[in-house]
């Protein structure tokens, strides 16, 4: 049990990578705090974990609301302590060049992908500093290291997540806190499905995109969850300030 007796807070855990991470952490003995704006999906994930014999509870959370982030994290830390914070909540946007994206789309992406991660870290760090231990895992993207065409707002936001993570690692390391980012390639989630549905021929787009990966497929949420688990666990006790790329070899092209 790699996370036995540890408390893990996960944002955006009602589906996709967040859900897979919640279920994986519970399998490894963690008390999992499932958070999301999707109350129905979040409660279902917590119930699934409990039905399987794990320990979980759901808290509604809009990561763009700093006060709400602090309220949820403070309550969890007071009740159970806080060992791991996984800032997973994120969003994408329709494809378009920088000058084609309007301010509303830009601000929406930045609010969730940058401010949301900032708020999660801002809420978690005081508790981790007080106990002089903790692990933060921020979910970036392949776009954290590559400028993806037609994805200016998304690429900007995910690059910021990676450098924010490095800064936290430098600042909080003396308190025994590790901070790392996970940088997945395209993963078979609802976000990917939404992107494909915007294409003229979704099936052809899926086949074309998957062919760009040396492994000739997209990642699965469970595969990203396994990498997050590694960064959250003591197995990565000397890993901090790192952006772990999990992209099926795409970035080797």
Residue for token digits 């901070």?
A: 179
Single out the residue of 18, 52, 16, 27 nearest to residue 137, CA to CA.
18
- What is the C-alpha separation between 227 and 222, in angstroms, rounded? 9
Residues in the chain, overall count: 253
Q: Is beta strand 31-36 parallel, antiparallel or unpaired with respect to 177-184?
A: unpaired
Tell how far CA 123 is from the center of its chain: 16
Surface-to-core class of residue 200, CB atoms within 10 Å of its CB (0-12 exposed, 13-18 middle, 19+ buried)? exposed
Surface-to-core class of residue 246, CB atoms within 10 Å of its CB (0-12 exposed, 13-18 middle, 19+ buried)? middle
Single out the residue of 242, 231, 232 nearest to residue 162, CA to CA.
242
DSSP label at 96? Answer: B
The active-site residue, picked from 154, 175, 195, 213, is 154
Tell whether the torsion through CA atoms of 66, 192, 58 and 4 is positive or negative: negative
Query: 226 near 20, Cβ under 8 Å?
Result: no
Q: Respond yes or no: is residue 154 known to be catalytic.
A: yes
**Residues annotated catalytic, as ranges:** 154
């Amino acid at each position: 049990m790699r996370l036995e007796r540890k408390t893990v807070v996960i944002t955006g855990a009602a589906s996709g990578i967040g859900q897979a991470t919640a279920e994986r952490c519970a399998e490894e003995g963690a008390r999992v705090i499932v958070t999301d704006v999707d109350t129905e999906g979040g409660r279902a994930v917590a119930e699934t974990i409990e039905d399987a014999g794990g320990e979980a509870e759901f808290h509604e959370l809009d990561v763009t609301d700093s006060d709400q982030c602090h309220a949820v994290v403070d309550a969890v830390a007071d009740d159970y302590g806080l060992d791991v914070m996984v800032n997973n909540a994120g969003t994408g946007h329709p494809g378009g060049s920088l000058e084609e994206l309007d301010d509303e789309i830009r601000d929406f992406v930045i609010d969730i992908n940058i401010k949301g991660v900032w708020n999660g870290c801002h809420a978690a760090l005081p508790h981790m500093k007080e106990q002089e231990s903790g692990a933060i895992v921020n979910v970036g993207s392949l776009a954290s290291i590559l400028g993806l065409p037609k994805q200016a707002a998304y690429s900007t936001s995910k690059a910021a997540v990676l450098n924010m993570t490095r800064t936290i690692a430098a600042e909080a390391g003396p308190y025994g806190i590790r901070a790392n980012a996970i940088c997945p390639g395209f993963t078979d989630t609802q976000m990917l499905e939404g992107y494909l549905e915007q294409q003229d021929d979704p099936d052809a787009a899926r086949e074309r995109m998957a062919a760009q990966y040396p492994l000739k497929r997209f990642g699965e949420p469970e595969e990203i969850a396994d990498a997050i688990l590694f960064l959250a666990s003591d197995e990565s006790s000397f890993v901090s300030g790192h952006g772990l790329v999990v992209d099926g070899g795409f970035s080797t092209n």
